[in-house]
Amino acid sequence: MKRLLVVITIFAVQGLKAQRNNDVIDYINTYKEIAIREMQRSGVPASITLAQGIHESMAGKSDLVQRSNNHFGIKCRTEWKGEKVYHDDDARGECFRKYAKADESYIDHSDFLRNGARYAFLFEYDPTDYNKWAHGLKKAGYATNPKYAQILIKTIEDYNLQQYTLIAMGKLSPKDEVLAGGGKPVSISNGVAIRDIPAGKPAVDYPIGEFKINRAKVIFAKAGTSLLGIAKQYDVSLKHLLDFNELSEDDDDVLAEDQLIFLQRKRRSGEVEFHEVKPGETLYSISQAEGIRLDNLINYNHLQDQPEPAVGEKLYLQSKAPERPRLSTEVIASGPQPPVITPDQITPANSSAVTASLHIVREKETLYSIAKKYSITVEQLKEWNKLTGNDLKTGQELVIYKN
């Protein structure tokens, strides 16, 4: 009888383990793409994010995650203004953040690490070194379990989660993914990052991870990505990264919009002879898209200290243009001008098409550098803010419109 009970117990344990394994595989296949996107945005390794999610949420089956979509056990803290649930953890009835959907939990987890001072040292580590990241999280006090690092490492190795870090970095093609169970392959547009393009800007598909434009290494980074995180991830000094992309130390570390970021210096001339200016393009965005240094682009086309070129104009990329192209201001002056919507003119009818943000002028910033940052023209910036000259004061507030 005892022997029979032992046999039954063994089968029960094996069945329970198989069930748990299936839950983990389902979890990986459900959330791997979110983890990849978040790594590309924030720099948190996808392998670490998935391992933490699996452990913290019991592969999506915990009571907390069922009631709150909180996959990482992030507690409310004083700065949290969203919905809350109460759950027994280290103490009875502790306050936890509640999310409308799982994606929000993943984004908040990335931001929690990215913006937390005590986790800053983690982003100095190689993102492929999951051992260091796991022990670093424990060292920073992310969890009280003394075996927390070992749990993450074992989960990563048991379920081959490292491959998602490599896919996010462009070091492994999505088609080479080793599928978990009967899951579907990673489908981030078949290995292509699709830009979310504001109205009026040309849509371009860029590969995930590192690729080349005009023989120079480049990546396509999403809005919200940290420049320091990119520098660490691709082993480039921040100073060089800023220099390669004609950015200054006064620019925000976090990208305000999706853009190309070069990992080495751009070329002095373009790969093709000409570039036709499209709606929404600026000299800076053209220099990035063509992989040509901004100064060279300006010099070739006689555009020193001039506004942006007009849509449809042909810019020379390899040699001096015979004459300066028409400017956007010249075209605007000769044709009908669309009305500029100012804050007092925004109505329920047009508010969905217009968003405004506030930019606080920093020391050494100029109208040109601010316009370049937001891919707008100096003229637009001056008109929106009723500026008559080019002088700015540190701390001055400027309204930026996007529609």
Nearest Cα residue to 317 out of 276, 246, 281, 269: 269
Q: Is residue 28 within 8 Å of 161, Cβ to Cβ?
A: yes
What values do phi and psi take at 212, rounded to 5? -130, 140
Q: Give pLDDT, residue 365.
A: 74
Claim: this prediction has a pTM higher than 0.75: no
Domain 194-334 in CATH: superfamily? Answer: LysM domain (3.10.350.10)
Nearest Cα residue to 169 out of 257, 74, 9, 43: 43
CATH 3.10.350.10 spans which residues of the chain? Answer: 194-334, 343-402
Q: Which range is least confidently modeled, 81-90, 207-216, 237-246, 353-362?
A: 353-362
Fold for the domain defined by 343-402: Membrane-bound Lytic Murein Transglycosylase D; Chain A (3.10.350)
Q: Give pLDDT, residue 346.
A: 45
DSSP for residue 44:
-
CATH number of the domain at 22-73+103-176, out of 1.10.3720.10, 3.40.50.300, 1.10.530.10, 4.10.220.20?
1.10.530.10
Q: What is the pLDDT of residues 276-295, one digit of tens each?
A: 998 878 888 899 999 999 99
Taking the CB of residue 369, how many other CB atoms lie within 10 A of it? 17
67: which 2 tokens? 């009631």
The yes-or-no verdict on residue 40 having pLDDT over 90 is: no
Across the chain, mean pLDDT equals: 79
| Bridge partners for 85 per DSSP | 96
Nearest Cα residue to 251 out of 212, 217, 284, 282: 284
Q: Give pLDDT, residue 170.
A: 80
Span 266-271, average pLDDT: 94
How is 168-182 classified by DSSP, letter by letter?
HTTSS-GGG----TT
The dihedral built from the CA positions of residue 178, 183, 189 and 195, taken in this order, carries a sign that is negative
Q: What is the pLDDT of residues 165-205, one digit of tens each?
A: 988 888 888 888 887 666 677 765 433 333 333 434 455 67
